[in-house]
Amino acid sequence: MTPKCPDCLNEVEILKACGSTDLFCNHCNQLVSKRKAIIDGQVVAPSPEHQPSIKVTGH
Ligand SMILES: [Zn+2]
């Protein structure tokens, strides 16, 4: 399911950065807070139980 922008209700683009995920609305042309984003009618909440291990390449 794709998160939606709380302002325009359009689907937002998911940008994955180092250890975090940002949401960007191409319609509003601005970043959308994960706490404000709408997923399946509910507000997105981080799951503390599930923490994916991120391995840094190089070195
Ligand atoms: Zn928007």
Residues with Cβ within 5 Å of ion ligand 1? 5, 7-8, 25, 27-28
Distance (angstroms) between ligand 1 centre and the Cα of 3 equals 11
Q: What is the pLDDT of residue 52?
A: 64
Q: What is the pLDDT of residue 10?
A: 95
Distance (angstroms) between ligand 1 centre and the Cα of 17 equals 20
User: Does residue 45 surpass a pLDDT of 80?
Assistant: no
Please give the class, per CATH, of domain 1-45: mainly beta
Element (H, E) at 43: strand 42-43
Q: What is the pLDDT of residue 42?
A: 58
- Greater confidence (10 vs 52) lies with 10
Distance (angstroms) between ligand 1 centre and the Cα of 23 equals 10
**20 three-class SS:** strand
pLDDT digits (tens, 9 = 90+) for 5-38: 999 999 999 998 888 888 999 999 999 998 899 9
Tokens coding 4 = 């939606």
Q: What is the pLDDT of residue 16?
A: 87
d(CA 49, CA 6): 26
